[in-house]
Structure 1
Amino acid sequence: MGGDAMPVKRLSLLALLLALAMIAYMTIGSRGNWDFVLAFRGAKLLAIIAVGVAVSTSTLLFQTIAQNRILTPSIMGFDALYVLIITMMVFFVGGQGMLSLGPYGLFAMNTLLLLLASFLLFGTLIFEHGRDLTRMILTGVILGTLFRSLTSFATRMIDPNEYAHIQIASYASFNSFDMELLYIGVAIIIACLAFVWTIRHRLDVISLGYDVAINLGENVRAVQLLALAVIAILVSVSTALVGPVAFLGLLVVSIAHLVTPSPYHSTLLLSSALISCLILVGGQTLMERVLQMSTPLAVVIDFVGGLVFLLLLLQRLKK
């Protein structure tokens, strides 16, 4: 009874802190026309929350199907693959040709290509070597390095005037995003979250281990494929909106396991999403409104998240 009440209390506290952070973000330093301020900041707040939820959910799903708490889509090279796809499109069709697709067409093509690449590269890797942590990490690092090297090689042969399209996609920014893509991105994220919520009990079974899940009658391959498809879509949406944030997912999911230690995805999904949004909204408020610093929040998050990754890796290696 007490164990069931504790996650609810902590989730409620996280929700309260997030609400306070959202109010601070919308009100601190606001001057002039409130209609304009609320509409402008409201759109940015919506984008931040959408990215926070997408990153936390995709990371938790990836850790579940990979059956370890160190790997994330970013560490395995998902973000680098997305930037590589953008680079190859600019290389072959040019910046104007890419823009002629429009934000919706460009997003649809990127998502489709990322889905195909995810099944071919990461799906095979998880199915064949999912329980070999060392091989998974090394392969992920190698794939990420390969994608970034190919991106760097292609950018050297691209017209410098068209390099701006790649540069925008390569760096995370919570201050600029495509308004046309925001609402469709939010709709896609909500659809993905609704689907993930329907399979949360199956994810609980998968997290018990491959052999246990098989013995309990769960179709592990089917769940892994479904989760991988959702991960690719969520990574596409979050990266298309603000750019890649490498270690945010690892950071928030690690904190979620500490704050709300639970074997159930119903708790972890909510906890990691609230923590992710709290870090992004609170951090952006602090950096932009209080300290008035121009340093991108993504830089700070990647620094702290990188330290968390090293600590988790060293802890796992000691075992």
Structure 2
Amino acid sequence: MRSDVSFTPAATSAAPLEASAPSADRRVGPFSGRAHRRRYLLILAGLILASLALVVLVLTWGNSQIPFTERWWRVSRMRSESLIVIALVTLCQSFATVSFQTATGNRILSPSIMGFESLYILIQTAVVFFFGISGLAEIDGFAQFVIQAAGMVVFAVLLYSWLFSGRHGNLHVMLLVGIIIGTGLGALSAFMQRMLDPNEFDVLRARMFGNVGNANTEYLWFVIPVCVGAAGGIWLLSRRLDAVALGRDISTNLGVNHKRQVMLTLTLVTVLMAMSTSLVGPMTFLGFLVATLAYAVTDTHSHRHVLPVAWLLGFVILGGAYFLLRHVLPMVDTVTIIVELVGGLVFLIVVLRRGRL
């Protein structure tokens, strides 16, 4: 009798151990295991080393001055300004695209779908159309830069508050209206461009494509804190973005105000895109390219791990293209065009592989 009683607890205690054994292998976190974490750290370290090597190459390649003299530092200072611009542009594009794709729940979309670049081109075209080349030179300044960036932010925020606020707000309707407005602005810009003088159109065309050389480094004192602040806001929201990526119902059950987080994320995305576009011009596929590659190489959905890799990838890609086509090959004006071409090809490949948008 006692032997049966003493045997029963042992049998019952063994069952839970056997049932809980498989759960010991389960992991909850951004990585599936130690090998995955190790691979991520190696990728991150490799990108950091590649970025540092790229900085050294840009600063020293072809600099015939005696190292560390006043003339050498003068040349290096000019090149360092271009590197700062590249770092800011890739920071804006990578953080904006990754967070925008999370907010919209679609890995194929990019922030340019909202018509930021069409509005930028329309502003540039309207200035040349009404005031001519001389007017463009006179109006071009810090005030014009701020007004242009503020116009993009106000345009997007009004669109968000109009179509996404309220009980019946619909994100897909907002995106569709953004596409339609961007198409309309592009058509109006094309109409004005057809009526321009060929010389005026040639000057305007240089501003219609993203170019690191178009950046006015005198505005960096304003652009840097704005970009760092907006990117820092997205970084602070990265935990909640992980929940938003699970969908409206699941994120709401986890205690996240889905609509509020999406609105806040889209506002920060607007600020980043406005700064990037106003600084160097339109860059449609750079953000999509680095976001797609970042998700592919990290193999995780954690924004705190995807965002830095996306930024470093963007810096290596755009900075490497700038170094090759500016300091090695005489093809200065084709840097962003080639990057956009590669990004467009990657976009087509992704769409064709998935078979849907």
Task: Report the TM range for the smaller structure's normalisation.
Answer: 0.7 to 0.9
Paired position in structure 2 for 1:48: 86
Which secondary structure does the structure 2 equivalent of 1:74 belong to? helix
Residue 175 of structure 1 and its aligned partner are, at CA, apart by: 2.5
Note the residue ranges of structure 1 that are not aligned, 5 or more in a row.
Answer: none
Bigger Rg over Cα: 2
Distance in 1 separating the partners of 2:178 and 2:346: 17
Note the residue ranges of structure 2 that are not aligned, 5 or more in a row.
Answer: 1-32, 66-70
Q: Does 1:187 align with 2:225?
A: yes
Distance in 1 separating the partners of 2:180 and 2:314: 27
Paired position in structure 2 for 1:220: 258
Q: Judging changes above 3 Å, is the alpha-carbon distance between structure 1 residues 217 and 178 closer, same or farther for their aligned structure 2 residues?
A: same
Q: What TM-score do the two structures reach when normalised by structure 1?
A: 0.87
Distance in 1 separating the partners of 2:162 and 2:255: 22
Paired position in structure 1 for 2:64: 31
What is the root-mean-square deviation in Å for CA atoms of aligned residues?
2.8
Maintained 8 Å contact 2:211/2:333 = no
Residue 90 of structure 1 and its aligned partner are, at CA, apart by: 5.2
Paired position in structure 1 for 2:120: 82
Q: Does 1:70 align with 2:103?
A: no
* More divergent stretch after superposition (188-197 vs 115-124): 115-124
Maintained 8 Å contact 2:113/2:182 = yes
| Residue deviations 1:34-92 (CA, integer Å, cap 9, x gap) | 12111111111111111111111111111111111000012443212222234345556
Distance in 1 separating the partners of 2:88 and 2:343: 20
Q: Does 1:314 align with 2:347?
A: no
Q: Which of 288, 295, 315 lines up with 1:277 in the alignment?
A: 315
Letter in 2 for 1:196: I
Maintained 8 Å contact 2:128/2:200 = yes
Matches for 1:1-319 after TM superposition, within 5 Å: 2=34, 3-32=36-65, 33-88=71-126, 103-121=141-159, 128-130=169-171, 142-157=180-195, 166-317=204-355
Residue 103 of structure 1 and its aligned partner are, at CA, apart by: 3.1
Which secondary structure does the structure 1 equivalent of 2:213 belong to? coil
* More divergent stretch after superposition (156-165 vs 176-185): 156-165
* More divergent stretch after superposition (287-296 vs 63-72): 287-296
Q: Percent identity?
A: 32
Which secondary structure does the structure 2 equivalent of 1:227 belong to? helix
Q: Judging changes above 3 Å, is the alpha-carbon distance between structure 1 residues 122 and 89 closer, same or farther for their aligned structure 2 residues?
A: farther
Q: Judging changes above 3 Å, is the alpha-carbon distance between structure 1 residues 210 and 288 closer, same or farther for their aligned structure 2 residues?
A: same
Q: What TM-score do the two structures reach when normalised by structure 2?
A: 0.79
Distance in 2 separating the partners of 1:123 and 1:147: 20
Which secondary structure does the structure 1 equivalent of 2:212 belong to? coil
Distance in 1 separating the partners of 2:162 and 2:285: 23
